[in-house]
């Protein structure tokens, strides 16, 4: 019996290779020099956002007619990976921003796209997506925020927690129930602008890693939002969230691959310089094997990420591929960071070098956009149908 062998071609086209090269140069010159200070001071990377905007990196997957580059998801993941190699904080801020603009692009009407996407893609306004609450994150059916139609406005009440770019963003996509009795089918999504009456912000979380991102609470107390700001129609919220979360998990996978590659790059540079017992550290087999394992796992994670990204827009659902990529790449990032510290020895435990930061940041990635346990649950449910 003949067995058909299917070869998946994940090689990058010339345009993507050029994009990768240009972003790599930009990151080396602009982003990398600020990464250590951003982490140490916990500063939000405003200068990096401004520089990314000048390079058109805040609207990569947004259509050209709305100010973006009109590129595909794989191209955007290439950008995220390159940024995350040197500053995963900046990459996550970028992802949260683009994540919210994707929701408007996929499900918004022409008026909403013209009003909000253009300034978001150009970097004039920063975005955030408000889904998670202390009672419900991955379990969106457990959220408590509600929106009530009152003439030409919706009145929204509730609290969002652990929201990336909270307080810093200008445009928020907020998930709320418009009909609690319908369960998840009663969820809707709204565009809420900073400065809207009833919109406020609570505390920012003091994170172990990703210390440069603003992750905190969004408070909605009789927040009055024009009815025209609903994205799609009432009940479309769950469809919007599921579609965007899958894309967000692929983006998180790209950030994870970038962080892991950064840890590997730092390790290779170190072992080629460090002498021990009269030999370079790179000459010891134990070091060589660690490097080999790291490199192999990172390449496997990258291929999973490329595969998931290549499915976006080409098939109806890519939930399985997105969860596999997110699960594996985030855990590879954690292992790469830990192995990098091991390779650096005592120096790896200090804040003088970058690798302890990689470890703290990597842990965030195993939790963000759904924990590893959530991803395993999704994968197993799909496979066991």
b/e burial code for range 127-157 (CB count within 10 A of at least 16 → b): bbbbbbbeebbbebeebebbbeeeeebbbbb
Exactly one of 297, 321, 331, 369 is catalytic; which is it?
Answer: 369
**CA–CA distance, 263 with 339 (Å, rounded to integer):** 9
State which H helix or E strand residue 13 sits in.
none
Q: What are phi and psi of 125, to 5 degrees?
A: -135, 135
- Is 365:254 a contact under the CB 8 Å cutoff? no
Residues 6+ away with beta carbon under 8 Å from 42: 211, 212
- Is 126:45 a contact under the CB 8 Å cutoff? no
Residues 6+ away with beta carbon under 8 Å from 7: none
The alpha carbon dihedral of 198, 191, 161, 35 has a sign of negative
Told to judge if 369 belongs to the known catalytic residues of this protein, a careful annotator would answer: yes
**CA–CA distance, 255 with 175 (Å, rounded to integer):** 25
Write the Ramachandran bin of 286: left for phi over 0, alpha for psi from -120 to 50, otherwise beta. alpha
> Would strands 171-177 and 127-130 be described as parallel, antiparallel, or unpaired?
parallel
CA 80 to chain centre: 8
Place of tokens 């490329």: 306
Q: What angle do CA 294, 296, 300 make, to 5 degrees?
A: 115
* Surface-to-core class of residue 274, CB atoms within 10 Å of its CB (0-12 exposed, 13-18 middle, 19+ buried): middle
- Helices 355-365 and 319-344: crossing angle in degrees, nearest 10, is 160
Retrieve residue 354's tokens.
């970058």
The helix, strand and coil proportions of the chain, stated in percent and rounded to the nearest 5, come to 55, 15, 30
Which residues are annotated as catalytic? Answer: 369
């Amino acid at each position: 019996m003949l067995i058909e062998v299917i070869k998946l071609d994940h090689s990058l086209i010339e345009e993507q290779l050029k994009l990768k090269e240009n972003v790599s140069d930009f990151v080396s010159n602009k982003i990398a020099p600020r990464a250590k200070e951003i982490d140490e001071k916990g500063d939000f990377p405003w200068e990096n956002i401004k520089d990314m905007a000048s390079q058109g990196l805040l609207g990569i997957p947004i259509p050209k007619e709305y100010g973006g580059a009109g590129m595909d998801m794989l191209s955007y993941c290439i950008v995220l990976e390159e940024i995350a190699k040197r500053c995963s904080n900046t990459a996550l801020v970028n992802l949260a921003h683009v994540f919210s603009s994707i929701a408007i692009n996929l499900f918004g009407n022409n008026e909403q796209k013209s009003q909000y996407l253009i300034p978001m893609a150009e970097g004039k306004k920063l975005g955030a997506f408000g889904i998670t609450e202390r009672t419900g994150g991955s379990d969106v059916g457990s959220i408590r925020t509600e929106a009530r139609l009152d003439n030409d406005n919706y009145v929204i009440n509730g609290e969002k927690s652990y929201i990336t770019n909270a307080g810093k963003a200008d445009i928020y996509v907020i998930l709320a129930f418009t009909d609690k009795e319908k369960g998840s089918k009663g969820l809707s999504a709204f565009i809420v602008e900073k400065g809207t009456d009833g919109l406020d912000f609570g505390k920012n979380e003091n994170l172990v890693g990703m210390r440069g991102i603003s992750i905190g609470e969004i408070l909605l107390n009789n927040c009055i939002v024009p009815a025209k700001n609903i994205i799609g129609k009432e009940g479309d919220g769950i469809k919007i969230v599921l579609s965007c979360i899958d894309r967000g998990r692929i983006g998180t996978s790209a950030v994870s691959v970038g962080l892991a590659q950064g840890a590997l790059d730092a390790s290779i540079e170190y072992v080629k310089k460090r002498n021990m017992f009269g030999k370079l550290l790179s000459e010891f087999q134990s070091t060589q094997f660690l490097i080999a394992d790291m490199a192999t796992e990172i390449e496997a994670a990258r291929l999973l990420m490329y595969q998931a990204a290549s499915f976006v827009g080409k098939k109806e659902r890519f939930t399985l591929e997105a969860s596999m990529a997110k699960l594996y790449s985030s855990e590879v990032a954690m292992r790469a960071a830990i192995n990098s510290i091991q390779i650096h020895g005592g120096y790896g435990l200090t804040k003088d070098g970058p690798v302890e930061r990689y470890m703290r940041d990597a842990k965030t990635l195993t939790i963000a956009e759904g924990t590893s346990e959530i991803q395993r649950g999704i994968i197993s449910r799909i496979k066991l149908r």
